[in-house]
Chains A and B, each alone.
Chain A
Amino acid sequence: KAGVTQTPRYLIKTRGQQVTLSCSPISGHRSVSWYQQTPGQGLQFLFEYFSETQRNKGNFPGRFSGRQFSNSRSEMNVSTLELGDSALYLCASSGTGGGNTIYFGEGSWLTVV
C-alpha cells in the first residue's frame, strides 16, 4: 500500500511569487491535512480537508489556501510568498472518524529567496 506522496520534494521561489504543492493520500483515506514545520514554530496545523470541504483551519493568513479533489488528492497554495514562508510543508492523511492514525508524507521543502 503506497504511503502519502507529496510533490515536489524541493523547490525554490522568489518573494512575491506563488507556489502550489500537491499531495496524494493513502488509498482509501478521505481526510487530508497540511502542516508547516519551521525551526522557530515547530509543527503547526494549516488546514484539513474531507470530502472536498475544508473541515478545520489553523491560524495562518489567507495567503495560505488549499483544496481537495473528488479523488481525495489535495493541493495547497501560498500566494505572495514571504521569506518566512520557507519551511517544510507536510501533508498527512487518515481514515474517517476520531482515533484514526494520521500518516505523513515526506514533505515539500520550500525555500523563498
Chain B
Amino acid sequence: DQQVKQNSPSLSVQEGRISILNCDYTNSMFDYFLWYKKYPAEGPTFLISISSIKDKNEDGRFTVFLNKSAKHLSLHIVPSQPGDSAVYFCAASTMQGAQKLVFGQGTRLTINP
C-alpha cells in the first residue's frame, strides 16, 4: 500500500521554463509534507516543506502547493536551471510521528539547455 505516490518517473524541461513535479497521498492523517532533491550515492537534500494549515509556501525559485481536498501537492521550480537535474522525492509525515517520513518513489528531472 503506497501512501505517497509520484506517478511520473521522469520529467524533461527546457532550461528557463517551469518544472512542475506532482505528488499524491492517500493517508488523510498526513499533515506535514517535504520535498527533497537527490543525486546518486548522496543523501537527500531538503528543498522546501509545507504544513497542512497552508496551501502554498515559497522559497526562492521553489514553490510548493498543497490541495488537501485532492490529497495532492506539487513543486514548482521557476526558472529551471541545469543544476536542478536530479531525482526529486516528496515525503509526508504526521505531526505525531514527525520524523517518520513516508516517501514517494521519486521523479527524475532533466533540464535541457
Instruction: List chain A positions with a Cβ less than 8 A from chain B.
Output: 4, 6, 31, 33, 35, 42-45, 48, 50, 55-56, 58, 88, 90, 92, 94, 97-107, 109
| Alpha-carbon distance A92/B44, docked complex (angstroms) | 10
Q: Enumerate chain B residues within 8 angstroms of A45, measured Cβ to Cβ.
A: 100-102
| Interface range on chain B (Cβ under 8 Å from partner) | 20 to 34
Q: Is the CB of B105 within 8 A of A42?
A: yes
Q: Enumerate chain B residues within 8 angstroms of A102, measured Cβ to Cβ.
A: 34, 46, 99, 101
Q: List 13 A-B contacts (CB under 8 A).
A: A42-B106, A43-B89, A56-B97, A92-B99, A94-B99, A99-B32, A99-B95, A101-B49, A103-B46, A105-B43, A106-B43, A107-B41, A107-B42
B88 sits at the interface (CB 8 A): no
- The dominant DSSP class at the A interface is strand
| Alpha-carbon distance A33/B99, docked complex (angstroms) | 7
B94 sits at the interface (CB 8 A): yes
Contact of A33 among B42, B100, B102, B103 (CB under 8 A): B100
| Alpha-carbon distance A48/B99, docked complex (angstroms) | 7
Instruction: List chain B positions with a Cβ less than 8 A from chain A.
Output: 31-32, 34, 36, 41-46, 49, 51, 89, 91, 93-106
Q: Enumerate chain A residues within 8 angstroms of B102, measured Cβ to Cβ.
A: 45
| Alpha-carbon distance A109/B95, docked complex (angstroms) | 30
| Alpha-carbon distance A97/B106, docked complex (angstroms) | 26
What distance in Å separates the Cβ of B104 from its nearest Cβ neighbour in chain A?
8
| Alpha-carbon distance A105/B42, docked complex (angstroms) | 8
A58 touching B103 in the complex, CB below 8 Å, given contacts A99-B51, A107-B42: no
Q: Enumerate chain A residues within 8 angstroms of B32, measured Cβ to Cβ.
A: 98-99
Complex: chain B residue closest to A33, CB-CB: B99
Contact of B41 among A4, A55, A88 (CB under 8 A): A88
Complex: chain B residue closest to A9, CB-CB: B41
